[in-house]
Amino acid sequence: MSAAVRAPRIRPARVALHAFLLAMAALWIFPLFWAIYSSLRPISDTIQHGYLSWPTGGLSLVNYQTLWTQGELPYFYLNTLVIAVPAVILTLLLSSMVAFACTQFSWRFNLATLMIFTAGNLLPPQVIIVPLFRIYLSTPHFRSSPTTHCSTTSISGSCSSTSSSRPASLPLCSATT
């Protein structure tokens, strides 16, 4: 006797679920495709024909070339390398040492230290942005050429700028909120 192989039953609820998931995925990814399409399209063609027309000259990478050359992105990538990479490495190094100490050794304030670090991780960034900004304003700048001088440590501090190595098109200080 041979067993008959049945085709799996297609349930309407399963089809509706997959249709809904596909529609939501398309709705979710559409803005990303629209942004890529808009970035590859010449701005002159968009101004002349509108957003919903196909570009007459085709799609190109000219906007990205312009961004790289006129937006001075290498300067900002260097800034990221100088600031963000050491900050991440230092944070990982210090946090791994504290985690090791809190989990492997039994000492008097072990639980209190672990709770303080956990509570610090639960704070949203919006809560600590004002104290961090005040600390930033009170920290002396260690550059040889003066770029920005914020004369007060309040949030609405006034800023004046002098000679700088930054691109001329960039604001030097934005201490007003």
pLDDT reported for residue 94: 92
The model's pTM? 0.47
Give me the residues of the chain with pLDDT under 50, please. Answer: 144-177
In a domain, 100, yes or no: yes
DSSP 43-65: HHHHHHH-TTS--TT---SHHHH
Q: Which domain holds residue 42?
A: 12-69
In a domain, 6, yes or no: no
pLDDT reported for residue 72: 83
Residue bearing tokens 């960039």: 170
Contact status, residue 165 vs residue 148, Cβ threshold 8 Å = no
pLDDT reported for residue 21: 97
Contact status, residue 164 vs residue 145, Cβ threshold 8 Å = yes
Number of domains the chain is built from:
3
| Residue range 38-49, pLDDT digits in tens | 999 988 888 898
pLDDT reported for residue 142: 59
pLDDT reported for residue 26: 97
Biggest distance spanned by C-alpha atoms of the chain:
93
Contact status, residue 157 vs residue 151, Cβ threshold 8 Å = yes
